[in-house]
Structure 1
Amino acid sequence: MNASNTQFLARAYRAVLAAAFAFALAGCASSIHFRSQDGAGADEPAPPTEMITEKLIAAERQQHREQANVELENLLVPNPPPYAIGSGDVLSIVVWDHPELAGNAMNTGSLAADPSGANTAPPGFVVDHLGRIQFPLIGMVGVDGKTEEQARALLTAKLAKYLANPNVTLRVQSYRSKRVYIDGEVKSPGLQAINDIPMTLVEAINRSGGLLPSADQSRIVLERGQQRYLLSLRDLVQKGINPGMVMLAPGDVVRVHSRDESKVFVSGEVLTPKALTMHDGRLTLNEALGESGGISPLSGDARQVYVVRKTPERTRVFQLDARVAGSLAMAESFELQPKDIVYVAASPLANWNRNLSLLIPGALTSAVTATNRP
């Protein structure tokens, strides 16, 4: 290699070093950038970073507590009302000393015509879609929304016009008007009929065979109409609230989530990046870092520990400076949520080494190739 080629190679080497230095300095910035949704154009600046402090942790706890209390106010029923008759229910009505008025007599002809019973209506009096039953002597009687005692008193009053001192017994024989649906990590998911036993959250789970080992007791979703409630059995017990006071309503859908759906993702400059499963809905930032092996002592920047959280309103970015006194205590108090992303940024020196190793070998090869051309 002649002198001119050597000088050219030296100049190229210095140019590469300068470019690598500038590129490394640019990579040392602490801000996070998100690419636009369409994938085109320059990166967009990240949402404002919120430093993890004692004040922020207290505010997050208070907000969570207030939201949970508002939801519980609509669900807790200390003294559930008695069962109300509805359309589709089958009533057993007996008028003593008047067997001709019994509901079972209505199906005698059907049983004789169809011995198999396949097309036989249920014995008793079926409440129609308008909430009425047809009873001998008195005709159509509205019983929708009434308790057994109220319906019995109504029939007694109407029969008193035709019978002397009628003695009426009325009970619900088949509960078919009100149901709830249980889905998710239970042994027997499906529809559960509401009967005279109050359908509480605990009762519904027990009727479904109980929770599976894979169930997340902190993520039980109750959907009622357009409302959606997130319940945690662990939080209820810690607050001294009996989960048996959470009353279900007809048409409610209860879904018990799996533990696998409640994961936190740890990436960046940690020893073992991984997806972590929360422990019954609880995982702190300190636990997440510990289970991932901690911040890498060679490449991690303890000043830049980020938590990225997607909320329905916006994306929030939290930052912890692990060098500050008391940071470990704050990390232990900072509660993570499912789908959170914990990211530890690289140190400026690590960025410098990586950028340099990426740029210099390719640039030197190009420079040598250019000098060896005839």
Structure 2
Amino acid sequence: MATAFVLAGCTTGLQFHAQDSKGNAEPAPPTEMITEELIAAEKRSSAQQGEQNLSRLMVPHPPPYTIGRGDVLAIVVWDHPELAGGGVTAATAAADAAGTGANSNSNAPQPGFVVDHQGRIQFPFAGLLPVEGLTEDAARALLTQKLARYIANPNITLRVQAYRSKRVYIDGEVKQPGLQAINDIPMTLVEALNRAGGLLPTADQSRIALERGDARYSINLRDLVQKGINPGNIMLAPGDVVRVHSRDESKVFVSGEVVQPKALTMHNGRLTLNEALGETGGISPLSGDARQIYVVRKTPERTRVFQLDARLTGSLAMAESFELRPKDVVYVAASPLANWNRHLSLLFPGALTSAVSVTNRP
């Protein structure tokens, strides 16, 4: 009777036993059969979850650079070298433009006017000049207006010599993670990644996180390209943190009656059930039950269990269309015959070996 009970139990399919934090039994999650309707519903759900409002990040026409606190300005009043003070003379400006200045090939501090903590510079005759938030052209016009009271038709050259006020941080799977200064070249997401040396082969292009204040955005580069959205229009702001996740953080675990159970790395956020089974050698022909292919998925709300019967018509097409998600567990149950052999071996150790030996005797 004990043997009959075990055999009956092993033919009912995969059994799930759930417990709460106190160890009390909970109802097992219902098994959802993988069908065309379920696949379509899952795709709609994934599309809704993936639709994040990135419009506030998109800036097709970036504005010019604005001066900030800590920036160093190079200011030249032509024909008036006495106004250079601790700044840049006309000769120095010409030498720097030609690349022959004394500091052109050294790490020595460049002369210039530093924007103070209140966003001002101090310039002869003009006094304390508020330049924070102004473009180079606007700052030049303001300084020209101030000096026109003392100099007839002042000819002024003003440019940002050192960009030190605005930075972004690039981390994760890039060649050179660290701080990147925002300069007159628009700091788009693509520009920031290129300045960081580009993505490593281990980078997951589907999982790029951008943190801006309390907001967090998840960016899928390949998905944007497929939708016809140019990632180069994503403009970074000062203080942004960009992290490129590793593909190793998005794995799918395949176990049970497959040829080679193992953890699989997703391909830039994509891996189908058919691909997962194929990369593990497929269902074991000796012990696997093609009727019982399960996908266990932990969601914030509950645990979901999907089942595929590979014997049905169109099951391979459904397996190719069923998208797995990171941390999914694919499990192939054993066939009734394989379960019978294993339980019999546990009940009567060595019985099958002895029977085979007796049968093989001459």
TM normalised by structure 1 equals 0.79
Q: 1:125 to 1:248 in 2, by over 3 A?
A: same
Q: Does 1:95 align with 2:83?
A: no
Q: How does 1:85-234 map to 2 (within 5 A)?
A: 85-102=67-84, 104-105=86-87, 122-234=110-222
Shift of 1:173: 0.7
Match of 2:317 in 1: 329
Aligned equivalent of 1:51, options 9, 33, 49: 33
Do the aligned residues in 2 keep the contact of 1:187 with 1:208 (CA within 8 Å)? yes
**CA offset digits 1:328-360 (Å, max 9, x no partner):** 111101122222211112234433432333234
Counterparts of 1:356 and 1:275, CA distance in 2: 31
Q: How does 1:330-345 map to 2 (within 5 A)?
A: 330-345=318-333
Shift of 1:210: 1.8
Counterparts of 2:57 and 2:336, CA distance in 1: 52
Do the aligned residues in 2 keep the contact of 1:92 with 1:103 (CA within 8 Å)? no
Q: 1:83 to 1:300 in 2, by over 3 A?
A: same
Do the aligned residues in 2 keep the contact of 1:273 with 1:292 (CA within 8 Å)? yes
Do the aligned residues in 1 keep the contact of 2:250 with 2:265 (CA within 8 Å)? yes
Q: Does 1:81 align with 2:63?
A: yes
Shift of 1:197: 0.5
**CA offset digits 1:233-263 (Å, max 9, x no partner):** 3222222222222222222222223333332
Unaligned stretches of 5+ in structure 1?
1-17, 108-119, 363-374
Shift of 1:209: 1.6
Match of 1:278 in 2: 266
Counterparts of 1:245 and 1:64, CA distance in 2: 24
Do the aligned residues in 2 keep the contact of 1:282 with 1:336 (CA within 8 Å)? yes
**CA offset digits 1:100-125 (Å, max 9, x no partner):** 32253499xxxxxxxxxxxx865211
Counterparts of 2:29 and 2:214, CA distance in 1: 30
Counterparts of 2:72 and 2:185, CA distance in 1: 17
SS in 1 for 2:319: helix
Counterparts of 1:280 and 1:327, CA distance in 2: 25
Aligned equivalent of 2:4, options 4, 16, 21: 21
The amino acid of 1:52's aligned partner reads I
Counterparts of 2:85 and 2:223, CA distance in 1: 49
The amino acid of 1:41's aligned partner reads G
After the TM superposition, which of the residue ranges 289-298 and 25-34 deviates more from structure 2?
Answer: 25-34
Counterparts of 1:49 and 1:223, CA distance in 2: 38
Aligned residues: 336
**CA offset digits 1:130-180 (Å, max 9, x no partner):** 222222223222222222222222222333344433333221111111111
Do the aligned residues in 1 keep the contact of 2:283 with 2:332 (CA within 8 Å)? yes
Q: Using CA pairs below 8 Å that are at least 6 residues apart, which structure has the higher relative contact order?
A: 1
Counterparts of 1:82 and 1:32, CA distance in 2: 63
Shift of 1:223: 2.4
Q: 1:98 to 1:69 in 2, by over 3 A?
A: farther
Match of 1:62 in 2: 44
Shift of 1:318: 2.3
Higher helix fraction: Structure 1 or Structure 2? 1
Counterparts of 1:254 and 1:180, CA distance in 2: 8
Shift of 1:82: 1.3
Q: 1:19 to 1:170 in 2, by over 3 A?
A: same
Percent of pairs with identical residues = 74
Unaligned stretches of 5+ in structure 2?
90-107, 351-362
Q: 1:350 to 1:103 in 2, by over 3 A?
A: farther
Alpha-carbon RMSD across the aligned residues, in angstroms, is 3.0
Do the aligned residues in 2 keep the contact of 1:103 with 1:125 (CA within 8 Å)? no
Q: 1:68 to 1:81 in 2, by over 3 A?
A: farther
Match of 2:92 in 1: none
Q: 1:124 to 1:230 in 2, by over 3 A?
A: same
Do the aligned residues in 2 keep the contact of 1:33 with 1:43 (CA within 8 Å)? no
The amino acid of 1:307's aligned partner reads V
Match of 1:33 in 2: 16
SS in 2 for 1:213: coil
Counterparts of 1:226 and 1:32, CA distance in 2: 43
Which structure has the larger Rg over C-alpha atoms?
1
